[in-house]
């Protein structure tokens, strides 16, 4: 599925656009609004902004696209970072924040989180990042990313090239079971991965789809020059 690419001069306007998409998705959702969070530095800035937004928090159901197999209070945990930056400061009931028990190790955690996300149905919105090597969530190049029709909901990851090696990740199939998917991509380090994605190379990120909209929000620093000159095309 070809994403719609939107390029922003700098990070702040990109984050404002991401916030606008979140507002629209929340408004379009009926009884509940289910969102899958990404790890990484760019989403974290968005989470800090969300802590000050007036949202209909009672509707929110929060899931995590991937998690590191570390004790719950470790600062490297995606869930810990999101709790500190945002979730701990807004009135979302704790039982609506679905944190993977990643401390149990990849196998047990993947099985238990698989059962959790199995009940979630189609996600309203999935947020994702892009790694320098084209990974997304904890789906790494050269690994099984669970893109097939029979792929499990959640994969155990044992030898991630980005530390720590033990993680769990929603599979490509499960991440794609979403109305909207939005990638947040910033910084010069992503230029090569963006160029490869645009060339149609086989990367974990390029295997993600969505029911209604697949959007990449990128800053100019992350975009190869020729792409920048052409502007917001494709």
Contact residues: ligand 6PG, CB under 6 A: 38-42, 65-66, 78, 129-131, 135-137, 162
The span from the CA of 12 to the CA of 20, in Å, is: 12
**Closest separation in Å from C-beta 100 to ligand 6PG:** 12
Question: How many CB atoms are closer than 10 A to CB 226?
Answer: 9
Nearer to ligand 6PG, 27 or 158 (CB): 158
Query: Are the beta carbons of 190 and 135 closer than 8 angstroms?
Result: no
- Cβ-based nearer residue to ligand 6PG, 65 or 146: 65
From the number of C-beta atoms within 10 Å of its C-beta (0-12, 13-18, 19+), residue 199 rates as exposed
The least distance separating ligand 6PG from the CB of residue 9, rounded to whole angstroms, comes to: 18
**Nearest one of 151, 153, 145, 92 to 122, comparing CA atoms:** 153
**Contact between 139 and 193 (Cβ < 8 Å):** no
Nearer to ligand 6PG, 38 or 99 (CB): 38
Cα 52 from chain centre: 21
Q: How many CB atoms lie within 10 A of CB 93?
A: 10
Query: In whole angstroms, what is the distance from residue 191 CA to residue 177 CA?
Result: 27
Select the residue whose beta carbon is closest to ligand 6PG and give its number: 129
Shorter beta-carbon distance to ligand 6PG: residue 135 or 198: 135
Smallest distance, Å, CB 93 to ligand 6PG?
A: 25
Contact call for residues 72 and 99 (beta carbons, < 8 A)? yes
185, 130 in Cβ contact below 8 A?
A: yes
SS3 124: strand
- Looking at the Cβ atoms of 43 and 114, the one nearer to ligand 6PG is 43
What's the min distance (Å) between Cβ of 168 and ligand 6PG?
A: 11
Question: Is the CB of 41 or the CB of 56 nearer to ligand 6PG?
Answer: 41
């Amino acid at each position: 599925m070809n994403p719609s690419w939107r390029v922003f001069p700098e990070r702040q306007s990109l984050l404002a656009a991401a916030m606008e998409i979140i507002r629209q998705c929340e408004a379009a959702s009926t009884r509940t609004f289910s969102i899958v969070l990404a790890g990484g530095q760019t989403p974290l800035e968005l989470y800090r902004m969300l802590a000050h937004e007036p949202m209909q928090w009672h509707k929110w159901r929060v899931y995590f696209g991937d998690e590191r197999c570390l004790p719950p209070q470790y600062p490297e945990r995606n869930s810990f970072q999101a709790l500190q930056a945002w979730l701990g400061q807004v009135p979302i009931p704790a039982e609506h924040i679905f944190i993977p028990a990643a401390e149990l190790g990849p196998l047990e955690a993947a099985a238990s989180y698989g059962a959790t996300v199995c009940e979630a149905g189609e996600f309203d919105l999935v947020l994702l990042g892009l790694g320098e090597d084209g990974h997304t969530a904890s789906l790494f190049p050269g690994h099984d990313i669970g893109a097939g029709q029979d792929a499990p909901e959640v994969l155990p990851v044992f030898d991630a090239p980005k530390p720590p090696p033990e993680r769990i990740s929603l599979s490509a199939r499960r991440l794609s079971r979403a109305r909207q998917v939005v990638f947040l991509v910033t910084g010069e380090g992503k230029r090569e991965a963006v160029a490869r994605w645009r060339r149609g190379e086989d990367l974990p990120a390029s295997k993600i789809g969505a029911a209604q909209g697949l959007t990449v929000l990128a800053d100019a620093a992350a975009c190869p020059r020729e792409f920048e000159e052409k502007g917001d095309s494709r």
